[in-house]
Chains A and B, each alone.
Chain A
Amino acid sequence: MKKNIKILLPILVLFLSVPLIMGPGSSTTQNCSVPAHDNVADGSAHYASLICNQTLVDHWWYVFDMRESDWDAGFGYYDVCNMDLPLARTFAAMYLLTYSAQDYARSTGDYSGNALRWAYPYTANNAGRTSALCFKPGSSVGQWAAWAYGNRIELYMPFFYSFDVASRAGTLLHEARHNGGKSHNGGSGCPRGASCDTNWNYEGANMYEVLYLWWFGVDGTRTTSAIRNMGLNRARTVHNNAFNTNPGFNI
């Protein structure tokens, strides 16, 4: 009997530790609705015809390790070109990342050129499995826009419906940089008080975001000077708020 207990005990311990192994909130059920939004106002409508392209969709589906189980249940798997749904809105951001440079990278292994050019290959190669959820397990709807961990990026409702296309693109690059091995290392020591990087030399997600936005403002194509100026102003703001030591650039 004692020996049986010796065998059964580890089994019991293993079963009891499953929730710990899987993480908190791992068995949550999430329900959410498409919120009121304006595809014309946030710039998404312009991408509707551009992303509705089988070759393009196949490419992104492959490099971002996207899976039916991550994008079904209303998130757009069965209606890829519908700009009201998360999948098409994510593809719009991927389109912007892919084609921001005039001489855009022709393969995901081409890291040559400026940040505008390598932002897409970098994101594609580092994002990992990219999936959609209503909200981050353990939080509520609207608190989080995206989360990178291990080799995965989870995207939540604010990413899809509160961000314009350029912000979505910048977020994908930012999260990919985390998965590329750089978490924020500056604690709360920068003016924004969270998600800080110590300095420019750390080469973290904030540096990547600023570089992309800066290059987009300077050299972005297939867009307007109005949107490019918005990119520059975003770069200026992140530059001044996201580093413990201000890099001191006059963007």
Chain B
Amino acid sequence: MNLINKSSDLISLTYVPFAFLLILCALLLLSSCAEPEYTLDYTGPSPGSGDAIYPKTPAGQQIKQHLTAMSGVGEDAEANYQKSLAKMRANPEVTHVLAEVYAAIPEEDYFRRTLVVEALKEMRSVDALPYLSRIANAPIPKDRLPENTEVNTRENEIVIRITAVQGLSVLAAQESREANELLFKLVGHNDLTVRQLAARGYLGSSVGDTNEKLKQLYEMVPKEEHWYLTTKLTDIREVQHPEVLVDFDLEAFMKQRSDNAPSTEEIK
């Protein structure tokens, strides 16, 4: 009996390494299966879904071309943009059509909405004032994707609002009393960044005395926000930068990762 039992134990023990080897193989197999299987269906080139927002008029097509120039890339990007901007400013009708285009853009197309407001701002025309005011004062919708903590659509809306505030600031700097008043009212906005940019525009306006305005704002704005009551911008070079980079061991890192990598120098 004992012998049989011992023999049985021996057999079991002999199989242990094989059993574990089997488990290891199964785990490896399963881990490779653990990558989600996915497919992306692609039916053809992008239809340019945004074309419908541009009126089929010379001004509408001019705006379409201008927005393309605005997002240009390359050595001549800024020159092309400025050329396009000069043509836009020469056509007073464009300001009103820009407002039409803005209204036609879907809410979630934040980038293009910002481009249009930036274009309105750069028209530097009092004709743009009512549109800029309406955009700056429009209520800011809540974040559309609260589950996604890394993306906040409310911030996209704030970018649009402050671009409009900058447009009003340009007009106030050109001595528009109306823009100056609108900026003052916006210092009471419920969003901090809008308040900050409105205060900056108000203080930088050509209407009224800057020191008087500064006193006025110091009384109006809560003490904890006095840091933005200034006409001076922070110099980015004076701001704390990450320390980790100072201690970076370039030689060791290069040896570890970059020896075989094609360098960016080869690319240009």
Contact = CB atoms under 8 A, between A and B. Distances in A.
Contact of A225 (B78, B149, B166, B261): B78
Interface string A89-107: 0000000101000001111
Interface of B: 8-9, 12, 15-16, 19, 23, 26-27, 30-31, 33-43, 45-51, 67-75, 77-78, 81, 108-109, 111-112, 114-115, 118-119, 122, 143, 145-152, 154-155, 158-159, 162-163, 166, 192-193, 196-197, 200, 227-228, 230, 232-234, 236-237, 239-245, 248, 250, 253-254, 257-258, 260-267
20 contacts: A3-B8, A59-B261, A74-B39, A74-B42, A106-B264, A109-B257, A111-B248, A118-B245, A142-B145, A143-B145, A147-B150, A171-B150, A174-B150, A200-B240, A208-B242, A222-B74, A229-B166, A237-B193, A249-B239, A250-B232
Contacts of A246: 192, 227
A34 B43 contact: yes
A200 B81 CA distance: 35
Contact of B162 (A7, A28, A59, A237): A237
Contacts of B244: 180, 203
Contacts of B12: 3-4, 7
A134 B261 CA distance: 29
A30 B36 contact: yes
Contacts of A208: 242
Contacts of A40: 48, 50, 68
A149 interface: no
Contact of A226 (B70, B151, B192, B234): B70
A11 B23 contact: yes
A224 B71 contact: yes
Contacts of B254: 107, 109
B41 A14 contact: no
Contact of B111 (A42, A175, A180): A42
A64 B168 CA distance: 43
Interface of A: 3-4, 7, 11, 14-15, 18, 21-23, 25-34, 36-43, 45-47, 50, 53, 55-56, 58-59, 62-63, 69, 73-75, 83-86, 96, 98, 104-111, 114-115, 118, 120, 122, 125, 133-134, 137, 139, 142-147, 158, 162, 164-165, 167, 171, 174-175, 180, 191-192, 194-195, 200-201, 203, 207-208, 211, 214-215, 218, 222-227, 229-230, 233-234, 236-238, 240-241, 246, 248-251
A14 B23 CA distance: 8
